[in-house]
Amino acid sequence: MTGPQGKKGKSIQSRLVMLLLLILIPVVAIQAYIYYGDYQARRALEFQANLEVARAIAKTFESFVQDVIHHELLIGLAITSPQPMASEDITRLLISSTRYAAVRDFTWLNPKGDAVYSGNPAVVGNSYSERSFFRDVANGREWTVGELVISKATGKPVFGISRGIRDEKGTLLGVVVAIIIPENLDVRLAVERGKGGGHALVDSKGMLVYRYPAINSTWEERNWLTQYPEYEDVFKGQEVTKTVYAAFEKDNRLVSFTPVSSIGWAATAGKSEGEVMQPILISMAKSALLFLSVSFAAFFIALAVSRKITNPVTELSAHALALGHGERPRQINLDDILEFQNLAEAFNAMAEKVQARETALRESEKRWAVTLASIGDAVIATDTGGRITFLNKVAELLTGWSMADAAGKPVQEVFRIVNEHTQAIVEDPVSKVIQTGMIVGLANHTVLLRKGGGEIPIDDSGAPIRDEDGRILGVVLTFRDITERKRAEESLRQANEGLERRVHERTAELQERADQLGRLSSQLTMAEQRERKRLAQILHDGLQQYLLAAKMQVGGLIEQAPDAALKQASAEVEDLLSESLRVSRSLAAELCPPILHEAGLLSGLEWLSRWKYEKHGLKVQLAIQMDAPVLTEDVKVLLFESIRELLLNVVKHAKTQSARVKLFQQDERSLQIIVSDNGVGFDPASAGVNDGSYGLFSIRERLSLIGGRLDVDSSPGKGARFTLTAPLAIKKPLESMPCAQPDEIDPIDVDPLIKSDGKIRILLSDDHAVMREGLARLLGQETDFEVVGQASDGQEAVELAGKLLPDVILMDISMPRMSGIDATRVIHQRHPDIRIIGLSLYEEEERAKAMLDAGAVFYLTKSDPPADLKAAIRSCMREKSGAGTENAESLPLKI
């Protein structure tokens, strides 16, 4: 609209409408953005959930494949053992080995690819030499997983898992093949995810192998690679999340793809897009409708109320303009709003006073006009209404206005000042002076906008003009051009900002690098610990078991050797196997001490002190001043590895043969461990990487991540003291063990058919089949021994002991369901006449004592000579029959 004197601007009513719109539109936009964000977040959440399921399916399937391959290896070793098995025994072994629900049968192929033995008689005699899986194994691959094919026997889709068996020279002895029925994988892979959810496995050719829930598909429809090109990226090792069209349910699905990297397959998981997104779309629609209804209703109500404000403001504005122009406006009267009534009365009174003061001001102007004109600074004078009454020559030059043009104009039009940086209008100094009656100055960074363009930085002040009675007649503004000063200030500011920016950037860079190094150190440490534990487990469950089995075989060969030369060669092989077993056992204990995870930190530290003395000659004095601390697994491992690192630093740098480790509880939530020595000491501030400071930094960072800390107190010549502080875990009630306790097991009826023929009846209990088979073959060579049963865990050993009533039980310590120690305690309480010999890979005194306390007669390591084991068995029977054990005392047995 156009206002008085041709001024263009917006009315207050239009501005109120604009204000309401400015409030309404962003609120609507923000709400829409929130809805969109919720929608996308729900999709992203579903994609991530599907990806986690797909990863779990991939890991589970890989675990299944490895279980089958491991079982195939055991079958192959049994078939190719030095003592040939009868054909009937091999067939029974293959049939009994089908313990997995998805495995249809196991088949033994000779090196030519002919099926010699099988759990499925229909395939015996078939040739598989031209099959891809056999060629892969024959060409050197250790194992392979075949693609999906149609079984000739059943007409149903199957796939195979094959494992080659080779001798020590790498010559192929045969191939064990397991035929897998995909639809029976539900036992391992089925996961219920609600309506619309599903997951699948696809082989390396893109053929659908398995899906849960199952879908009816022809062989052509199983080719998912042509339906879903995303598998090409998955087979390259990438994880993909995407919305795809599923032809089998004629709907879009939110699907996540992940590779099964070890065999080149892919796993997917997805859900129907409609099932996932429909609830949130309905909720969003209801919320949006309610929100828009309320918002628009509020907008129109506010618009109606605003008119009660705009009409009085318009009338007051017209009255003020007339008063400002020197006119004598009519009296105004506003009755609607109290504030507007007060303003109307004030304007009416102001109009009467203005007329009287104008006369006095004109007379005073003549007296000071000459003085103001001669001042070196720019001067502007106004009346109490803020209208220009005077400009001197400097003011005319700076503002670009002449006195003739500026006279009578509002000071805001001539003296236009804004903030230098934001261009925001600065508060009018004239109005401020009139309101306060005091001298005021402009804020910093103020510029004057010249008429015709251009900006000039200024420094000014305003003061009231008073009459003899102290009444304000007007305002005088004085200002000056400070362009040169601003240039100097700007140069200084830029220099300071540049310096501060460089300092800030370098500080941030250093902090970021420090944070990254701390996170990397923590991640590397935890990864190292996981790998240590994994490698130790591999050594124990794999290599050491095979070494023990091999040693037992060689021990049997020594006793059966027909001549001294063969006995000597066999003895040398046995010595090599014993040394390999000792090195493997030592390496496993060094990588991940079992005593640490089984008995806790205190027992682990006792082992560490002995190990440091045996390996490095370092005498470690333990001072434990608390009960066994309650620690989380990660904190326990971190403290153990940190102490081991600090003791290693003592060995490397302290030049001393002794150290001290003190452990005590600082308060109810934390414990402290102090590692100290009386060595050469060092300066922590100047220590380098070669002095072990990087290890200290790693320990400090890892402790800080769990809420602990490391304090170092050392100086040259005065030894070193390292204080580790770590949080204790919250104590929880002990959960019941999964294995049964002695008073929880019901008595077992003894089989009345058990007979004795004078032989020593032996029960074997070990969770490794290869160990049980090795012991059975070793003991079977003795005419006075009879192996009457085998147990794969402690619970089964308890049951078989009650049914078979053996004379002697060879009991492994570490077994699932019930440990060997618990099983020994139960059997000894129920059947005190049964003699139990404890077996273990480890020589820790703590394990031996626990086994003997439970009721065992002897404790031997699995690496002891077979002759010692046989002697221990016979000694048990002599002691049981009252013949004494005097000959056993010469044996290297732990009694």
Residue 603: CA count within 13 A, CB half-sphere: 12
Q: CB pairs under 8 A, 24+ apart, for 668-671?
A: 668/728, 669/727, 669/728, 670/708, 670/725, 670/726, 670/727, 670/728, 671/626, 671/629, 671/725, 671/726, 671/728
DSSP string of 275-331, one letter each residue: HHHHHHHHHHHHHHHHHHHHHHHHHHHHHHHHHHHHHHHHHHHHHHHHHHTT--PPP
Do 530 and 655 lie in one domain? The reply is: no
Return averaged pLDDT per consecutive 10 residues of the chain, 895 residues in all. Answer: 53 73 81 80 88 92 92 90 86 79 89 91 88 90 92 87 92 93 88 85 93 89 90 92 85 91 92 79 79 78 72 72 67 68 72 70 66 75 89 86 88 86 83 85 80 83 84 86 81 87 83 63 62 68 67 67 74 74 67 69 83 85 84 82 88 89 87 91 70 69 84 88 86 40 39 57 89 85 91 93 94 86 93 92 74 90 80 84 47 44
3-state SS string for 64-100 = HHHHHHHHHHHHHHHHCCCCCCCHHHHHHHHHHCCCC
Phi-psi region of 193 (alpha: psi -120 to 50; beta: other; left: phi over 0): alpha
Peptide bond into 806 cis (omega under 30): no
Do 505 and 623 lie in one domain? The reply is: no
Do 384 and 456 lie in one domain? The reply is: yes
> Which range of residues forms the domain containing residue 777?
742-890
Within 8 A by CB and 6+ apart from 605, the residues are: 622, 624, 640, 643, 661, 663
Residue 281 lies in a domain: no
Q: Which two tokens stand for residue 221?
A: 């429809």
Q: Please give the pLDDT value at position 589.
A: 63
Contact predicate 249/214, CB 8 Å: no
Residue 234 lies in a domain: yes
Q: Which two tokens stand for residue 111?
A: 């090196």
Residue 848 lies in a domain: yes
Residue 525 lies in a domain: yes
3-state SS string for 446-476 = EEEECCCCCEEEEEEEEEEEECCCCCEEEEE
Q: In this structure, which amino acid lies at residue 258?
A: T
In Å, how far from its chain's centre is CA 475? 69
Q: Which of 251, 275, 299 is the last residue of a domain?
A: 275
pTM for this structure?
0.38
Give per-residue burial for 618-629: e unless 16+ CB within 10 Å, then b. bebeeebeeeeb
Residue 189's CATH number: 3.30.450.20
Q: In this structure, which amino acid lies at residue 614?
A: E
Do 770 and 822 lie in one domain? The reply is: yes
Q: Please give the pLDDT value at position 802.
A: 93
CA–CA gap between residue 174 and residue 81 (Å, rounded): 12
Q: Which two tokens stand for residue 544?
A: 């050491």
CA–CA gap between residue 211 and residue 189 (Å, rounded): 9
Residue 163: CA count within 13 A, CB half-sphere: 17
Work out the number of other CB atoms within 10 angstroms of the CB of residue 500: 10
CA–CA gap between residue 258 and residue 811 (Å, rounded): 44
Within 8 A by CB and 6+ apart from 775, the residues are: 552, 764, 766, 787, 810
Within 8 A by CB and 6+ apart from 155, the residues are: none
Do 130 and 224 lie in one domain? The reply is: yes
Do 221 and 100 lie in one domain? The reply is: yes
Q: Which two tokens stand for residue 187?
A: 């036992």
Do 720 and 816 lie in one domain? The reply is: no
Residue 1 lies in a domain: no
Within 8 A by CB and 6+ apart from 114, the residues are: 125, 126, 127, 128, 129
Alpha helices in 818-858 (DSSP H): 820-830, 845-854
Residue 693's CATH number: 3.30.565.10
Name beta bridge partners: 722: 675, 712
Do 546 and 405 lie in one domain? The reply is: no
Edge-first strand listing for the sheet containing 720-727: 619-624, 658-667, 670-677, 720-727, 709-714
Q: Which two tokens stand for residue 662?
A: 């003190």
Q: Which of 481, 496, 525 is the last residue of a domain?
A: 481
Do 151 and 265 lie in one domain? The reply is: yes
Work out the number of other CB atoms within 10 angstroms of the CB of residue 839: 24
Q: Cα–Cα–Cα angle for 12, 14, 20, nearest 5°?
A: 100
In Å, how far from its chain's centre is CA 365? 81
CA–CA gap between residue 538 and residue 49 (Å, rounded): 32
Residue 848's CATH number: 3.40.50.2300
Q: Which of 481, 499, 526 is the last residue of a domain?
A: 481
Residue 46: CA count within 13 A, CB half-sphere: 24
Q: Please give the pLDDT value at position 806.
A: 95
Residue 405 lies in a domain: yes
Cα torsion 11, 15, 21, 22: sign = positive
Q: In this structure, which amino acid lies at residue 872?
A: A
Q: Please give the pLDDT value at position 537.
A: 61
Residue 380 lies in a domain: yes
CA–CA gap between residue 50 and residue 53 (Å, rounded): 5
Looking at the structure of the chain, the number of domains it has is 5
Do 722 and 699 lie in one domain? The reply is: yes
Give per-residue burial for 8-37: e unless 16+ CB within 10 Å, then b. eeeebbeebbeebeeeeeeeeeebeeebee
Do 678 and 751 lie in one domain? The reply is: no
Q: Please give the pLDDT value at position 856.
A: 93
Do 427 and 475 lie in one domain? The reply is: yes
Residue 895 lies in a domain: no
Give per-residue burial for 168-190: e unless 16+ CB within 10 Å, then b. eeeebebbbbbbbbbeebeebbe
